Amino acid sequence: ESDSSKLASELFRVAGVDEVLLGARHVTVTKKDHMDWNDLSEDVEEVISKFFDSKLKPVENPDERIEASSEDSEAVREIKKILEQRVAPWVQQDGGDVAFARWDEEEGIVWLELQGSCAGCPKSTITLQALIRGMLSHHVPAVKEVRDIADDDS
């Protein structure tokens, strides 16, 4: 069930749907492990088609993504800006997304939440370290490392 998206709420009513990720230009639906796509793909496609035929908005507040706060440091504002403008559109092409979790200024570590197809992907380490870290550290030299919040033991 989703409070901010009628589309996500409808998709969760389809038996076997485990996760729904709504991007700016895509919808990623993840099935439960025990389900077969052949058993639910038709229902998922029907929900999506009917939803868009109704002209409703997929997300009630689409601007609530990675927002900078007045309480954020300059580094955090720049990190969030790069994530929103450069990183998110890139990972969304593969059905994933990325959300800012926190910034450890002392260690130079950006903690991110990988979502959709990026969550648990074997290549996510490469995505985080080689690509996202490279882009962030280029624009914010204080960034030394990027980590997945799912790997945080604290």
39/64: higher pLDDT: 39
Considering only CA atoms, which of 6, 7, 30, 21 is closest in space to residue 92?
21
Residue range 124-145: mean pLDDT, rounded? 87
Long-range Cβ pairs for the range 39-46 (8 Å, 24+): 40/14, 40/15, 40/16, 43/14, 43/15, 44/11, 44/14, 44/17
The secondary structure element, H or E, covering residue 102 is: strand 96-104
Please, what sign has the CA dihedral across residues 138, 139, 145, 148?
negative
How do residues 16-60 score in pLDDT, each as one tens digit?
Answer: 988 887 766 677 888 888 999 999 999 999 998 888 888 777 766
Quickly count helices (H) and strands (E) in the chain: 6, 5
